[in-house]
């Protein structure tokens, strides 16, 4: 595709009839219109539920086997991928390399426009090669309009290396097809400001990435019930959260939770295991490792061995 090709047929580029008189609306009418349009994001996620579930299962399996998850995008799509990747280590205590965001233009593109760089498919291919992506990895290409050369180049390069590929776009398959292994279409319709895909398309993409990464981490045993038991205790807010998790799940007082947290090396998951099994930190850590960090499986295994 060249820069001169007419993209007006794409759903993300079409004119929204509901916002035809946008520049004449009051502030309250603007808020109501945005609210009305954003409701379409929920329907879009619901319509993509099967493909999202498949992506979750495949990605969980890949990461469990030592693979990595990569998000690739340009502009808003790239920033959303980098954001989701950056939030995994503090939330789930994952190593930085497990989930990574790749954006056209690199780190500088996070804070300033570099949309011209999305037209270079070769740059996307190079990004995949630089990260030595293999058949163990999962690469998610994010492009609202579906045509971004940088993303297309990255997906093709990843596929040639045997990686699992996932395509996320906000246009129907008949407008832009894909050879990716999993095809996720988030159809929210034309934007309030025609072509401004940082709006509904950006919102629904963030929702999809939230679902994907969080569900993968749940399947990897990064939560217990609905608690963030793999939280990285790196500041006062997160220490408070860790203490409250220990208080609630272990049924102990805050001062006891503080002692237990320190004994575990500030590892909430290990602290809970130590409390429930009376194992020391080293023994508990070994038991968790045997169960790939899954607290529930580790506790059940210990109880069955008693």
Active site residues: 87, 118
Give the torsion through C-alpha atoms of 242, 97, 214, 109, to 10 deg. Answer: 110
The CA-based angle 33-37-40, given to 5 degrees, is: 160
Handedness of CA 11, 12, 14, 16 (dihedral sign): positive
| Burial state string for 182-213 with b = 16 or more CB within 10 A and e = fewer than 16 | bbbbbbbbbbbeebebbbbbbbbbbbbbebbb
- Rounded distance between C-alpha atoms, residue 43 and residue 302, angstroms: 44
Residue 112 DSSP symbol = S
- Rounded distance between C-alpha atoms, residue 88 and residue 285, angstroms: 21
Q: Which residues contact 106 (CB under 8 A, 6 or more apart)?
A: none
CB-CB contact of 197 with 170 (8 Å): yes
Handedness of CA 14, 17, 21, 22 (dihedral sign): negative
- Rounded distance between C-alpha atoms, residue 17 and residue 31, angstroms: 17
- Rounded distance between C-alpha atoms, residue 84 and residue 41, angstroms: 18
């Amino acid at each position: 595709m060249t820069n001169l090709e007419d993209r007006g047929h794409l759903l993300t580029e079409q004119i929204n009839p509901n916002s035809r008189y946008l520049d004449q609306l009051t502030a309250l009418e603007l808020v109501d219109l945005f609210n009305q349009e954003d409701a379409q994001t929920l329907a879009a996620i619901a319509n993509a539920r099967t493909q999202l579930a498949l992506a979750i299962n495949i990605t969980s399996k890949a990461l469990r086997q030592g693979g990595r998850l990569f998000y690739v995008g340009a502009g808003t799509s790239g920033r959303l991928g980098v954001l989701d990747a950056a939030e995994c280590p503090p939330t789930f205590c994952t190593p930085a390399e497990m989930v990574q965001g790749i954006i056209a233009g690199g780190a500088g593109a996070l804070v300033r426009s570099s949309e011209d760089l999305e037209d270079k498919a070769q740059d996307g291919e190079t990004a995949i090669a630089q990260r030595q992506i293999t058949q163990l990895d999962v690469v998610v290409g994010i492009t609202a309009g579906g045509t971004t050369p940088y993303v297309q180049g990255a997906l093709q390069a990843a596929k040639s290396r045997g990686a699992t590929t996932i395509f996320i776009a906000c246009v129907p398959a008949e407008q832009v097809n894909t050879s990716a292994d999993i095809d996720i279409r988030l159809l929210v319709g034309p934007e309030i400001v025609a072509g401004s895909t940082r709006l509904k398309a950006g919102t629904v993409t963030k929702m999809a990435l939230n679902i994907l990464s969080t569900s993968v981490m749940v399947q990897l045993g990064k939560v217990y019930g609905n608690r963030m038991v793999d939280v990285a205790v790196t500041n006062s807010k997160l220490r408070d959260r860790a203490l409250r998790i220990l208080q609630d799940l272990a049924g102990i007082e805050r001062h006891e939770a503080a002692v237990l947290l320190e004994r575990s090396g500030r590892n909430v998951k290990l602290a809970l295991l130590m409390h429930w099994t009376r194992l020391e930190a080293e023994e508990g850590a070994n038991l968790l490792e045997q169960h790939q960090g899954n607290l529930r499986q580790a506790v059940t295994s210990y109880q069955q061995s008693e």
